[in-house]
Each structure stands twice: as C-alpha cells, then as structure tokens.
Amino acid sequence: MRSFLLIPSLLSILAALSANASILPGTPAVRRFTSKDTPTQTEKLTDAQIYARSLTHRQPTRRSTAQRRQVSDNAEIDASISVGARNRDTGSTLGALTISSSGLGIATSADVAVSLDTVRSSSWGSQTERRITIDGLPGYSNLGAVQFSSTSGLTLGAGLSNGLRVTGVSSPGTAPGDVPSFGASYGNTGPALAGETDVWTFDYTTGTITLQWVNPDGSTPATFLISNGVDLAATGDIDAFNAVFGPGWFATTLTFTENA
C-alpha cells in the first residue's frame, strides 16, 4: 500500500529533472522583442548599429522615383566651318559660298569664300534646327531663308512656285520650329521680309547641310536648296519655280568641313 503512494511522488521528481535538463548551462537568454518601457541604447553604438537603426527611419524608395545616373553629351562648342555647293544630281562641285549683292551665292575664282560658324558637339551624328552665323555681315549675322519679295508667298509645297533667298538675317532671328517672322535681311532695301534662321540640319556623317522651312501654318514641306550656278535659293517645287523664275535652277547640296 505504501509503495503505491510513493509512485506519484517519484513521477513528479522525474518530470522536474527532465525540465531542468532541457536548459543547457551557460545558454544566453534571447529577447526577441524589447518592451516599450525598456530604455534603448543611445551611446557607444557601432557603425553597423547606427546604420541598421537609420534604416528603420527611411521611407521606401519607389523605382519610378529613384535617382538614375545620367550620361551627358559632350559640351557644345563654337565651330568654324567652310561651306561649299555641288550639283545634287551630277555631284559636280560648284564652288564655295560667298557674299553677293543679294545674299549668299556661289564663289568664282575671284571671290572670297565666306567663313561661317555653328555650334556642335563631337558626340553628334546629326543635328536639326541649328543656327549658322556669318562672319563679315555685321547686322545680318544669321544665315537664313527669306521670301523673294514682299508680295511673294511664304508657303512652300508641291505645285507652288514660291521661293526663298538664302541670305543674312538680323538678330534675334527665329527659334527652332518657328513660323516665318518679319525682320531686316541683307540685300533687301524695301519693306521687311519674312524669314527663318534656325532651319539648318547638319549631318556629320556625310558632311552635308540641308534646309527645312516651316510654313506659316506650322507644316514642314519638302524643302530643296537650288542654284543657277551663281545664286542660292530654296523652294518646295523646283519645276514650278523654274516655270516662273527660270529656267536654269537645279537641286543643290551644301557640303561643309570644319576649319582647323
């Protein structure tokens, strides 16, 4: 009878010994969460602790607003250029550009070739809506295209005989994409004519310059540089232009080289 009474006591002792054996001596107690009433350490923090603590105060960064490293083009510089003309269809050289009595024309052996300037960067392959400035034309230093006369039309296009003179235009000129604006131009002694300046496209691969006129309605027609071997002009329809002002005008390509 007494042995049966001892069994519960022995079981209790064995359970206590098993519980104590599961805790290894020297094992540190780990606190997963700190009570809000427990003061936090503020002094003698390691660099890693300081960085880890700062992360908890940062707002998450969205990919759409994250800063990205930008690679900028090379700086733009002033470049002096020499410009010549050739027949677009035959490829034959016409000569360098010179200042004539009415604008810019084709230089003969006795003429002095004009020096022009533009802004460029060595990283460019092609640049549109550029400005070209003219040395030797004070007051009309911007190379542009202006209407033939105060009564001639400003709209270029297929079937239209309207034409433009290539000449110097007074400052400030027009901005890229602007429609024609009235102002003073070289070779004109009558009423102010409408023109544009920032209309030149440079192709640094082929070494050519083209002209893109903007009509008064904002449209951009096909624009052809033309010459009669002496003068330089532009139109939207060479055949229609020749029917009124020709014959003898042909498509012309402007070429350029950078001066040393």
pLDDT in tens, 138-189: 999 999 999 988 888 999 999 999 999 999 999 999 999 999 999 999 999 9
Would you say 102 and 187 are in contact if contact means Cβ atoms under 8 Å apart?
yes
Query: How far separated are the first and last CA of the chain, in Å rounded?
Result: 122
Predicted pLDDT of residue 116: 93
Query: What is the mean predicted confidence (pLDDT) over 79-88?
Result: 94
Predicted pLDDT of residue 60: 56
What one-character-per-residue DSSP string does the chain give?
-HHHHHHHHHHHHHHHHHHHHTS-TTPPP--SS--TTSPPP-SS--HHHHHHHHHTTSPPPPTTTS-----PPPPPEEEEEEEEEEETTT--EEEEEEE-SSSEEE--TTSPPPEEEEEE-TT-SEEEEE--EETT-TT--EEEEEESSTTS-----TT---EEEEEEE-TT---TTPPPEEE-BTT--SS-EEEESS-EEEETTTTEEEE----TTS-----EEEESSSBEEEES-HHHHHHHH-SS-EEEEEEEEE--
**pLDDT surpasses 60 at 33:** no
- The pLDDT confidence band at residue 72, using thresholds 50, 70 and 90, is very low
Query: What is the mean predicted confidence (pLDDT) over 93-118?
Result: 88
What global pTM score does this model have? 0.70
Query: What is the mean predicted confidence (pLDDT) over 223-247?
Result: 96
Distance of CA 64 to the CA centre of its chain: 23
Predicted pLDDT of residue 71: 41
Percent of the chain's residues with pLDDT above 90: 56
**Structural domain spans, the chain:** 78-258
Mean pLDDT over each residue of the chain, to the nearest integer: 82
